[in-house]
Structures are given as structure tokens and as C-alpha cells.
């Protein structure tokens, strides 16, 4: 015969659930217990045999405390459901950080895994992460995993408020560590505070993208009358819009630089550092990466020669050819092929 056990129950999850009344042979966990207690169901069934009423009608915070006590292998797990709650927490998790009592009431209705129960203990011991958890209306495994992944500098800056995935938080941590290695911990903390001011995860990662990019460096040559450098990110973005290409995503990293050909038709000319030739032509294309007329190409080549920019094979192309040169069938391709390729031909 079915009977409601939720009259007077404190747990929202138990208020509309039915269990079989009367004695049940053995200590196998019921389906309801399996749902609420998860991996701890078998141990809970031993402590509170079927119909498991004391555990099922307990509020979620006490059920979580019982599961946490099993995780910590504390003795007297039954005390999780007895007496004043704060006293039970102190008895079963004596080394727990401040804030655990409050946090246990926000972990949801179902038990976490043993591994996940360890995470709040570590995060609550960290002042920045503890603050983020303290202000959370609900604490999910996702949230504590993210907080466990993020460096303290990022959490302190406030990125913990974003609902990031574990993969997103891991990527953010890598970016932060990289900036710290490049610019120092203090500068990384400044970056993190600026990231935290973003209005959304999308805006956050847009800021991160800009900050992990190499700092801009001056172009290797001031340019010529009709070949002028694009020497700022703003100039690159503006040229990208006008030429309908991907310049907006490029950076001035000291290895690649960009110039605009002011003739008609216009063109974007990119040059790259080469350990043999210094600087060499990498690419020269028009609007929407169009191939330039022969006359325009010739004019650009002339100004590049005057800038001492190499037009021809790169060092790595030469190495590839050298690796093949000992073969009897080796044939040296014309050097003009490399130049034609740079002009999209």
C-alpha cells in the first residue's frame, strides 16, 4: 500500500514522492534513495535501512552533510541528521573552512560525487573563491569546478561571476598564466581586473584575445611615398573593413608587418621576418584578396626593393629544396614562382 511520507518533510525534493510503507527485507537502496544519494546510496541504505525515511525526509543540507561525512570517512555519520546543524558540521567535518554550513544548503537536492565534495572545501578555504560562493544563490558542481580551475588572480578579479564551462575556464587560466609569464604577475592581475569588467563571456574573451596578442612593435621601414605602414591595431582593423579581408584579426608582433599601397588599385602588402633575408614579401593582394594588375605589381616590387625587402624564396623554402638537392632527379623551380605566389598568381 502506498503512503505519502512527505507530510512534515523539510526537503522540497521529498515533498511529492511516494515510498512503500512497512518493513522491506534487506538493505537495498530504493529508487528514490538512489536518485537523491547517488554514489552514496548503498552506504546510506546500510545506515538508514528501507524505507530510508530519516534520510529521505531530511533537508538537503543534512543529506549533503551525510554524504560529505562518508567522503571524509568521518565516524558517526548518523549525527548528520541529528541535533543542531552547526554542531553536526563541526563534528563530522572538523577541519572544514568557514562558510561550509551556509554552502551545504545551496548544493542542490541530489548528492554530488565524492570527488566533487572535495572541491567546495578547497574553494571555501580560498578568500576570493569563498566570496564568490558566499554570494551565490545556488552552488553547482560546474561552478566549483570552474573556481577550482581558475587561478586565484582571476577569481580575485571577479571572473568567478561568469557562468563559464570547465573548458572555458581552463583556457582562461592558460591565458592568464601566459600573460603572467610574459609581463609579470602584477600586470596579469591588472589584465584580469579589466577582463572582469566585461559584460558577458563573449566580451570577456574578446578582451582576453587582445591582451594575449603580442604587443605592437614599430614597422621595420617607415615606408615609401605610395607604400605606407599600417602601424596600429586600429589602422589594421580599418584597412580590413575597407579591403574586406582578415586584417582586423592580425597583430603587429615584430614578425609580420603590413603596408597599404596607395596607388590605383589599392593593395595590402604584408612582409615577414626571415632569418636569412631579413624581411621578405609575404603577400600583396587587392580588395577582397584580388590579384593585382601587372603594372601595379611592378610598381610595388620596385618600392619593396628600395625598402630592401626580399622578393623570392624564403629561408624555409630554401631548406626544403636543399633537402632534395642530392637526388639525381632534382630540378630547381624558378625563383619567380615564389614571387608569383606572394601576388596570388
* Residue 40 pLDDT > 50: yes
- 302-338: pLDDT as tens digits: 999 999 999 999 999 999 999 999 898 999 999 999 9
As given in the structure block, the three cell numbers for residue 112 are: 554530488
DSSP 135-177: T-SS--HHHHHHHHHS-HHHHHHTGGGS---HHHHHHHHHHHH
Which residues lie closer than 8 Å to 312 by C-beta, 6 or more apart?
277, 280, 335, 338, 339
Q: Give the integer Cα–Cα distance in Å for 151 and 169.
A: 9
DSSP 262-279: -SSS-EEEEEEEETTTEE
Q: Count how many Cα atoms sit within 13 Å of the Cα of residue 129 in the half-sphere of its side chain.
A: 24
- The per-residue pLDDT for 130 is 67
- 93-109: pLDDT as tens digits: 887 777 788 888 888 89
DSSP summary character for residue 88: H
To which H or E segment does residue 187 belong?
helix 185-196
- The per-residue pLDDT for 7 is 31
- The per-residue pLDDT for 200 is 84
More confident residue, 293 or 120: 293
Average pLDDT, the chain: 84
- The per-residue pLDDT for 119 is 78
Query: What is the mean pLDDT of the segment spanning 77-101?
Result: 85
- The per-residue pLDDT for 271 is 97
333 φ/ψ angles, rounded to the nearest 5 degrees: -70, 155
Can the peptide bond before residue 291 be classed as cis, meaning omega within 30 degrees of 0? Answer: no
- The per-residue pLDDT for 204 is 85
Name the one residue in this structure whose C-alpha cell is 596578442: 213
Whether 312 and 335 have beta carbons less than 8 Å apart is answered as: yes
Size of the chain, expressed as the number of residues it contains: 345
Name the one residue in this structure whose C-alpha cell is 606572394: 342
Whether 110 and 35 have beta carbons less than 8 Å apart is answered as: yes
Binning pLDDT at 50, 70 and 90, where does residue 15 land? very low
Indicate the pTM of the whole model. 0.56
- The per-residue pLDDT for 125 is 64
209 φ/ψ angles, rounded to the nearest 5 degrees: -60, -45
* Residue 209 pLDDT > 50: yes
Lowest-pLDDT choice from 52-61, 145-154, 260-269, 279-288: 145-154
- The per-residue pLDDT for 195 is 86
Query: What is the mean pLDDT of the segment spanning 8-24?
Result: 38
Positive or negative, the CA dihedral 300, 302, 304, 306 is negative
Binning pLDDT at 50, 70 and 90, where does residue 16 land? very low
Binning pLDDT at 50, 70 and 90, where does residue 8 land? very low
| Closest C-alpha among 162, 67, 152, 50 to residue 115 | 67
Which residues lie closer than 8 Å to 85 by C-beta, 6 or more apart?
61, 62, 65, 101
Q: Give the integer Cα–Cα distance in Å for 343 and 196.
A: 43
264 φ/ψ angles, rounded to the nearest 5 degrees: -120, 120
- 220-268: pLDDT as tens digits: 999 999 999 999 888 999 999 999 999 887 888 889 999 999 999 999 9
- 169-207: pLDDT as tens digits: 888 888 889 888 988 988 888 888 888 888 888 888 888
- 126-154: pLDDT as tens digits: 666 667 677 677 777 887 887 777 777 77
Amino acid at each position: 500500500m502506498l503512503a505519502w511520507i512527505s507530510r512534515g518533510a523539510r526537503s522540497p525534493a521529498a515533498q511529492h514522492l511516494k515510498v512503500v510503507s512497512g518493513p522491506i527485507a534487506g538493505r537495498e537502496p530504493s529508487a528514490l534513495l538512489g536518485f537523491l544519494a547517488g554514489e552514496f546510496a548503498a552506504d546510506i541504505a546500510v545506515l538508514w535501512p528501507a524505507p530510508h525515511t530519516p534520510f529521505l525526509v531530511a533537508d538537503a543540507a543534512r543529506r549533503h552533510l551525510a554524504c560529505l561525512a562518508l567522503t571524509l570517512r568521518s565516524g558517526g555519520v548518523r549525527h548528520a541528521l541529528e541535533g543542531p546543524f552547526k554542531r553536526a558540521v563541526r563534528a563530522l567535518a572538523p577541519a572544514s573552512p568557514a562558510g561550509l554550513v551556509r554552502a551545504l544548503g545551496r548544493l542542490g537536492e541530489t548528492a554530488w560525487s565524492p570527488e566533487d565534495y572535495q572541491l567546495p572545501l578547497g574553494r571555501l578555504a580560498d578568500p576570493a573563491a569563498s566570496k564568490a560562493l558566499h554570494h551565490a544563490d545556488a552552488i553547482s558542481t560546474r561552478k566549483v569546478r570552474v573556481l577550482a580551475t581558475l587561478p586565484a588572480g582571476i577569481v580575485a578579479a571577479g571572473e568567478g561571476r561568469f557562468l563559464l564551462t570547465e573548458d572555458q575556464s581552463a583556457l582562461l587560466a592558460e591565458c592568464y598564466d601566459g600573460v603572467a609569464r610574459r609581463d609579470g604577475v602584477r600586470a596579469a592581475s591588472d589584465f584580469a581586473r579589466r577582463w572582469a569588467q566585461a559584460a558577458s563571456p563573449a566580451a570577456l574573451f574578446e578582451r582576453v584575445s587582445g591582451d594575449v596578442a603580442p604587443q605592437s612593435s614599430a614597422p621595420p621601414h617607415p615606408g615609401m611615398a605610395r607604400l605606407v605602414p599600417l602601424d596600429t591595431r586600429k589602422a589594421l582593423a580599418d584597412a580590413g573593413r575597407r579591403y574586406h579581408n582578415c586584417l582586423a584579426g592580425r597583430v603587429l608582433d615584430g614578425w609580420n608587418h603590413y603596408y597599404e599601397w596607395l596607388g590605383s588599385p589599392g593593395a595590402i602588402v604584408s612582409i615577414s621576418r626571415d632569418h636569412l633575408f631579413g624581411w621578405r614579401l609575404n603577400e600583396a593582394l587587392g580588395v577582397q584578396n584580388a590579384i593585382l594588375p601587372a603594372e601595379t605589381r611592378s610598381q610595388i616590387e620596385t618600392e619593396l626593393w628600395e625598402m630592401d625587402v626580399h622578393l623570392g624564396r624564403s629561408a624555409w623554402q630554401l631548406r626544403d629544396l636543399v633537402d632534395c638537392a642530392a637526388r639525381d632527379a632534382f630540378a630547381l623551380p624558378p625563383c619567380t614562382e615564389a614571387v608569383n605566389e606572394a601576388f596570388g598568381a
